[in-house]
Amino acid sequence: MLSLTDEVRAKLNSDFIEKLKTLSLTIWEGKANGPQISGWLSNFKGDVLDVETERTYMLYLLTRFMYYGQREIRALLRSIYFDLFRYPLIASIRRRNNNTTDTGLIDAEFLKQLQATRFLGLGGVAKSGTMLLYPFRKATGLSEASFVTADAVFAGNAEATPPLVKRLVFIDDICGTGEQAKDYDAEIVAPIRAKFGKSIELSYFVMFATTGALSALRPPSTGFDRVEAVHELDASFKCFDANSRYLPTKELERASAHRVASTYGLRLSAHPLGFRGTELLLGFSHNVPDNTLPIMWSTDSQWKPIFERF
């Protein structure tokens, strides 16, 4: 194991704290300030490496944590709308009309498509996908009429189903393993298909998804017609993967960090490195997904989290 001299550790800690200060005061919305970091670091008591080294490793992981605040989430949701929904439709309209640049024509055709589309969250009320609908509406300026619930679809509500509605777009914040969405494939998508066949296009657009989750969700694995993510998280985003983008660094080893995270993680969760071993370092202002290392968010056994999971 690479050992850290006092001097190296002091320099690293100083650099990490400086980064965390900048993040806390800017895009982390005041979260993870000095006292909170001290409280969180006190969880690590030297059970794996010496206490100071453990804390240096954990400070490093914290600097690599990707936190998305409200502004950033709105930007991601706008990207779902523009990149995944609007651009392809506009392209299709233009191509059908000899590459026209007549914005009057294009807008009118797009409006027709939009009016035939409904947006809904994946999951029930109070699930994070559904909770995103309000900020999504604010970020895009869409009217309330563009939004429905899954219940309205099942009930055959005319405003939510064909022939008026030709497209349902499900919105979600993260798909780490595809298990949740697969459940909904069975509970929601399959019944919709059974009822409406191919007369309705079903899309699943998510802010973040792992490569594995995307391939588990894309057709023909599920009944969705389109499955897209704004950010695809490949294996390099797994904290302790052989191709991890986080470790090793010049001074810090992957194996040591892994041991620390696993050992403490085991005391906190049946999934010590995040749900089904996703090993993510990711959180949102509205929640931290359980795909993220539990040492970041757990409150079990009097653990002091650095980011809260609701």
Q: How far is the CB of 124 from another protein (least distance, A)?
A: 27
Q: How far is the CB of 242 from another protein (least distance, A)?
A: 14
Q: How far is the CB of 172 from another protein (least distance, A)?
A: 15
Q: Which is nearer to another protein, 88 or 163 (CB)?
A: 88
Q: How far is the CB of 48 from another protein (least distance, A)?
A: 26
Q: Which is nearer to another protein, 14 or 215 (CB)?
A: 14
Q: Is 203 in contact with 168 (CB distance < 8 Å)?
A: yes
Q: Which is nearer to another protein, 10 or 164 (CB)?
A: 10
Q: Is 223 in contact with 181 (CB distance < 8 Å)?
A: no
Q: How far is the CB of 125 from another protein (least distance, A)?
A: 27
Residues that bind another protein (CB under 8 A): 6, 14, 17-19, 21-27, 33-35, 64, 66-67, 71-72, 75-76, 79, 82-83, 86-88, 90-91, 94, 101, 103, 106, 208, 230-231, 233, 236-237, 245, 282
Spell out the SS3 assignment of the chain.
CCCCCHHHHHHHHHHHHHHHHHHHHCCCCCCCCHHHHHHHHCCCCCCCCCHHHHHHHHHHHHHCCEEECHHHHHHHHHHHHHHHHHHHHHHHHHHHCCCCCCHHHHHHHHHHHHHCEEEEECCCCCCHHHHCHHHHHHHHCCCHHHECCHHHHHCCCHHHCCCCCCEEEEEEEEECCCHHHHHHHHHHHHHHHHHHHHHCEEEEEEEEEEHHHHHHHCCCCCCCCEEEEEEEECHHHCCCCCCCCCCCCCCCCHHHHHHHHHHHHHCCCCCCCCHHHCCECEEECCCCCCCECHHHHCCHHHCCCCCCCC
Q: Which is nearer to another protein, 101 or 302 (CB)?
A: 101
Q: Which is nearer to another protein, 88 or 156 (CB)?
A: 88
Q: How far is the CB of 309 from another protein (least distance, A)?
A: 19
Q: How far is the CB of 77 from another protein (least distance, A)?
A: 10
Q: Which is nearer to another protein, 30 or 163 (CB)?
A: 30
Q: Which is nearer to another protein, 20 or 273 (CB)?
A: 20
